[in-house]
Amino acid sequence: MNSINTIARWLTVCCALALSLALAGCEPPAPRVAKEMSVGITGYNFTAEGVQAYYVNDIRGSNLPPYGGGGGTSCCVTLPGQWTP
């Protein structure tokens, strides 16, 4: 009976030591930084007048015919990694 208690204590100490070593090597992950991305823009015109130019973040979009558009993509508008109003 005494040897069983000794083995149980030994196993408990070994498990506690292994768990302590495993947790000591862990550190929280670094925070992810959102990256900017470039996307194309496509315009749509729902009016009877043609649109000669439109801008998104100071990038010029192509001409849009009356009640038309959507066929071409103008490249590229840079979107921020984190949106703010």
CA distance 78 to 36: 7
Report the chain's mean pLDDT, rounded to a whole number.
78
Give the pLDDT score at 79.
82
Give the pLDDT score at 58.
80
**Per the confidence metrics, is the pTM higher than 0.75?**
no
Token digits of residue 80: 């921020």
Q: Predicted confidence band at 35 (pLDDT cuts at 50, 70, 90)?
A: confident
